[in-house]
């Protein structure tokens, strides 16, 4: 396993701009998750994909947030019209269909000025 | 809905000593899993140990073991022979009824030489 990768690792943007993050899961991991982690808190679930289907979304995922996994491989998370409250670490995780361990990537740290 | 509570924001231990991190949870699910994840500074989260709720035997992984008290909804992590590399944030998490992990706020563990 080469591990879950996320790009970029850091993103600084101005309020009102759109940003997009990418997650590449471990090869052959069909299930992919996005979480958000703010300072001093544990990660909070945002959304889940099984292959290309988005099967679960948190109420935290406002209409400014959209996630895709078009070919069932990598995923993107887009935030439109960013707000200062969106500043956080965005974590991606993946797992096989069998087993329940989610493998986490290093995260993308977003700072909204 | 599930909740996970970690009541110890910070803990410290002397190298080679034993430390126990506390976690309580609440869930209405009959089938669920519990996890401890480790998040070293500026590094990605990794799974330390997991417990299936239907198993009465406490899970162990080398120096890491859990005390799973199902009736009390308690899931503590014991680290024996603590090493400097054990210093990290430790998150307790629960999963049941859906794909998402629900995390506690974490415990920062310091290991003193």
Cβ-based burial of A30 (10 A; exposed 0-12, middle 13-18, buried ≥19): middle
pLDDT computed for residue B73 by the predictor:
96
Query: What pLDDT sits at residue A106?
Result: 95
Contact assessment for residue A24 and residue A2, using Cβ atoms and an 8 Å cutoff? no
pLDDT at B1: 80
**Which of A102, A103, A108 is the best substitution to test chain B (most B C-beta atoms within 10 A)?**
A102
CA distance A105 to A25: 8
CB hemisphere CA count around B96 (13 angstroms): 21
Query: In the 8-state DSSP scheme, what is residue B53?
Result: T
Looking at the complex, report in whole angstroms how far the Cα of residue A106 sits from the nearest Cα belonging to chain B.
5
For residue B97, the model assigns a pLDDT of 85
pLDDT in tens, chain B (113 residues): 889 999 999 999 999 999 999 999 999 998 999 999 999 988 899 999 999 999 989 999 999 999 999 999 999 999 999 999 999 999 999 999 888 999 999 999 999 99
Could you read off the pLDDT of A71-111 as tens digits, one per residue? 889 999 999 999 999 999 999 999 998 878 999 999 999 99
Query: How do strand B10-14 and strand B107-112 relate by DSSP bridges?
Result: parallel
Which backbone phi and psi does A28 adopt, to 5 degrees? Answer: 75, 5
Rounded to a whole number, what is the distance in angstroms from the first to the last CA of chain B?
Answer: 41
Among all residues of chain A, which has the CA nearest to that of B108?
A: A40
Q: Which two tokens stand for residue B35?
A: 């996890």
Mean pLDDT of chain A: 94
Question: Is there a contact between A104 and B105 if contact means CB atoms under 8 Å apart?
Answer: no
A window 11-50, beta carbon within 8 A of B: 31, 33, 35, 40-45, 48
- The shortest CB-CB distance from B44 to any of A48, A58, A107 is to A107
Query: Is residue A1's pLDDT more than 60?
Result: no
Give the pLDDT confidence of B62-81 residue by residue, as tens digits: 999 999 999 999 999 999 99
Q: Mean per-residue pLDDT for A7-12?
A: 97
Residues 63-82 of chain B whose Cβ lies under 8 A from any Cβ of chain A: none
pLDDT, residue B98, reads 87
pLDDT confidence tier of residue A64, bands split at 50, 70 and 90 = very high
What's the first-to-final CA gap in chain A, in angstroms?
Answer: 36
Per DSSP, the three-state class of B84 is helix
What pLDDT is recorded for position A43? 96
Please report the pLDDT score of residue A71 as a whole number.
Answer: 87
Please report which confidence band the pLDDT of residue A28 belongs to, taking 50, 70 and 90 as the band edges.
confident
For residue A89, CA distances in Å to B56, B68, B79 come to: 36, 30, 27
């Amino acid at each position: 396993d080469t591990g879950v990768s996320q790009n970029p690792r850091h993103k600084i943007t101005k309020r009102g701009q759109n940003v997009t993050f990418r997650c590449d899961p471990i090869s052959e991991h069909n299930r992919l998750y996005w979480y958000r982690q703010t300072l001093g808190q544990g990660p909070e679930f945002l959304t889940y994909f099984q292959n290309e289907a988005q099967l679960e979304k948190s109420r935290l995922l406002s209409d400014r947030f959209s996630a895709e996994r078009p070919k069932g491989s990598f995923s993107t998370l887009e935030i439109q019209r960013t707000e200062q409250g969106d500043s956080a670490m965005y974590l991606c995780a993946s797992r096989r269909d069998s087993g329940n361990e989610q493998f986490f990537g290093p995260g993308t740290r977003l700072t909204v000025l | 809905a599930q909740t996970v509570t970690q009541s110890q924001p910070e803990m410290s231990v002397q190298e080679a000593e034993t430390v126990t991190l506390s976690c309580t949870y609440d869930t209405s699910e009959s089938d669920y899993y519990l996890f401890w994840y480790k998040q070293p500074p500026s590094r990605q989260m990794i799974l330390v140990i997991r417990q299936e709720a239907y198993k009465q035997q406490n899970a162990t992984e080398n120096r890491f073991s859990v005390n799973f008290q199902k009736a009390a909804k308690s899931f503590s992590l014991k680290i024996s022979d603590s090493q400097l590399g054990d210093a990290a944030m430790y998150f307790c998490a629960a999963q049941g009824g859906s794909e998402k992990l629900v995390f506690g706020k974490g415990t920062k563990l310091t290991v003193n030489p």
